[in-house]
Chain A
């Protein structure tokens, strides 16, 4: 069903093509734009990025080979280490919270609930708005010193603070923002829950299984491929977060680099300082980190994801 499911099936060797007559010429014509895109826009730049990672390049003078300098520099780059830490905290905290919220709401919006379409839309809407600059502007206000959050807290006699100007809470406001966009995975969970035959639950009820047992023994195993899919994609997605940190911190990643996402640091080096060689090396490190996380996820899937095909 999903792109990931498709890849996993291909890896296991099932599915695939039907044989039949080859039609290379027609296929080449239809795929020509895609091949050109692969060459010039995706695969080509990945290779170029790899080579540039071993150079010093500022866009004006031609690149000069500098061996492993960029990678040695990474080892001593304290801002990079901080960016890695900030990004990891963001990913590891916000993704599980977001998916837990998505799953909980998907379970609440079960079959036959009145107003289901309305609730689904209301919870899904933030996912569409969440990546916009406008919402980042709003976030800057509501978590500011005189922002909406503190106005509401004041009504309960609680004194707030500048959540965004305090390095210990600034990242938290961005985590809240990511959790706020739980609607997209929720819709995917809802679709997955619809696939589970009702008779499983009916049979379990007759056998005297309670709601919790049903959840653990039926819902979780049958939904596990979808949970896995959401987990992989949301992790990749969270690693790429940029807009919100950029706008909320005014492009600096501050206060005190507390919202310096990896992508933001990469932007500063590449497009602020035009340090293209180092930025290429950074881009490759990001690719390796994301690939490693994805590989670990696929490996761990063997222990908890249940496939019926």
Chain B
């Protein structure tokens, strides 16, 4: 076999595999634009006509219009992003640039918490938050982000700050700048790529997160997109796949957009830190 033929064969195989992988998602998008009864007998991707009524039906199928849940998710995501940016960058600065008692131990603990499953701590956490009367608010989901509990991002930022030349800090210190100033004026502006990675990952993970939102948000008014979508499944079992697909597509669209806009940061983020 010639080199060219082998290359062509390899590309054909890779394209075929990519297609098989993405086919279910493409098919869901196409099916959401079809009449309901066709979902069970049309495995292809060709659309005869463009039917958007599934979107209208799905949008209004639950107690509130779906826009309400999208807005809830957007508020939650925004708050989580701010929390992670502020708290993780502060912790990262200390671990990367300051010397302090017990640093190695604290750092090891921080790394260890990256691997800690949330299920291990959810019960006492829930008890604490329910005693604070925080259930059915976004606080149990947002406050931990302001306390740097997403240690993955602390680590990501530590790695990034370590790569910045120390001469910059030294020069600022000679000019009389203290740590708050060095952090805000020198380190933060230089670590924008790491902050961007944090924004994108926090966005996608919070948007998709189901477990903790299911536990803390039980009032339909407070539902976020994943919880609303799940209640949709229970409410419309086997009756209307079309509208369920339509709202699934709506719920995936922001993740897909974030992926398109930020894939450079996503790929670099998991490649340099090894992902979560």
A59 interface residue (CB < 8 Å to B): yes
Distance of A179 Cα from B114 Cα, bound (Å): 23
From A109, which residue of chain B is reached at the shortest CB distance? B14
Residues of A130-186 contacting chain B, CB below 8 A: 131-135, 137-138, 140-142, 146-148, 151-152, 155, 180, 184-185
B239 interface residue (CB < 8 Å to A): no
B87 interface residue (CB < 8 Å to A): yes
Contact pick for B251, options A120, A132, A251, A283, CB 8 Å: A132
Contact pick for B179, options A26, A49, A59, A133, CB 8 Å: A26
Distance of A283 Cα from B120 Cα, bound (Å): 5
B164 interface residue (CB < 8 Å to A): no
B185 interface residue (CB < 8 Å to A): no
B16 to A: closest C-beta gap in Å? 11
- CB-based contact B91/A30 at 8 Å: yes
Interface residue tally of chain A, by bracket?
35 or more
- Interface majority SS (helix, strand, loop, mixed), chain A: helix
Contacts of A290 in B (CB 8 A): 117
- CB-based contact A4/B274 at 8 Å: yes
Distance of A121 Cα from B263 Cα, bound (Å): 8
On whether A187 and B233 interact (CB within 8 A), knowing A17-B99, A33-B87, the answer reads no
From A121, which residue of chain B is reached at the shortest CB distance? B263
Contact pick for A294, options B115, B211, B256, B272, CB 8 Å: B115
User: Chain A CB within 10 Å — which of B99, B211, B263 has the most?
Assistant: B99
Distance of A140 Cα from B244 Cα, bound (Å): 11
User: Chain B CB within 10 Å — which of A24, A129, A155, A236 has the most?
Assistant: A129
Contacts of B138 in A (CB 8 A): none
Contacts of B22 in A (CB 8 A): 122, 125-126
- CB-based contact A246/B210 at 8 Å: yes
A198 interface residue (CB < 8 Å to B): no
From B113, which residue of chain A is reached at the shortest CB distance? A42
Contact pick for A276, options B115, B127, B155, CB 8 Å: B127
Distance of A124 Cα from B258 Cα, bound (Å): 13
- CB-based contact A31/B106 at 8 Å: yes
Contacts of A31 in B (CB 8 A): 90-91, 94, 106
Task: Encode contact with A along B224-254: 1 for CB under 8 Å, 0 otherwise.
Answer: 0110011001100100010011001101100
Contacts of A119 in B (CB 8 A): 14, 18
From A269, which residue of chain B is reached at the shortest CB distance? B123
Distance of A122 Cα from B16 Cα, bound (Å): 11
Contact pick for A3, options B27, B109, B273, CB 8 Å: B273
From B22, which residue of chain A is reached at the shortest CB distance? A122
Contacts of B100 in A (CB 8 A): 22-24, 27-28
- CB-based contact B233/A128 at 8 Å: no
- CB-based contact B43/A151 at 8 Å: yes
On whether A190 and B94 interact (CB within 8 A), knowing A45-B128, A59-B130, A283-B123, the answer reads no
B75 to A: closest C-beta gap in Å? 18
Contacts of A17 in B (CB 8 A): 99, 103-104
B192 interface residue (CB < 8 Å to A): no
- CB-based contact B21/A122 at 8 Å: yes
Contact pick for B10, options A10, A43, A108, CB 8 Å: A108
Contact pick for B255, options A132, A191, A240, A276, CB 8 Å: A132
Contacts of A105 in B (CB 8 A): 17
Contacts of A126 in B (CB 8 A): 21-22, 25
A76 interface residue (CB < 8 Å to B): no
- CB-based contact A30/B183 at 8 Å: yes
Distance of A45 Cα from B113 Cα, bound (Å): 13
Contacts of B65 in A (CB 8 A): none
On whether A243 and B251 interact (CB within 8 A), knowing A133-B226, A229-B274, the answer reads no
- CB-based contact B121/A41 at 8 Å: yes
From A37, which residue of chain B is reached at the shortest CB distance? B147
- Jot down 6 A-B pairs with beta carbons below 8 A, ordered by A: A1-B273, A17-B103, A135-B25, A141-B245, A247-B230, A283-B119
Q: Which 5 A-B pairs have the closest CB atoms?
A: A37-B147, A2-B274, A27-B100, A191-B271, A134-B248
Interface positions of A (Cβ within 8 A of B): 1-7, 10, 16-24, 26-28, 30-34, 36-38, 40-46, 48-49, 52, 59, 105, 108-109, 114-115, 119-126, 128-129, 131-135, 137-138, 140-142, 146-148, 151-152, 155, 180, 184-185, 187-188, 190-191, 226, 229-230, 232-233, 236-237, 239-240, 242-243, 246-247, 250-251, 263, 266-267, 270-271, 276, 279-280, 283-284, 286-287, 290, 294
Given contacts A27-B103, A108-B14, A128-B204, 15 further A-B contacts (CB under 8 A): A3-B155, A10-B108, A26-B94, A30-B90, A34-B87, A48-B124, A123-B21, A135-B252, A137-B248, A180-B21, A188-B270, A188-B274, A267-B215, A271-B126, A279-B123
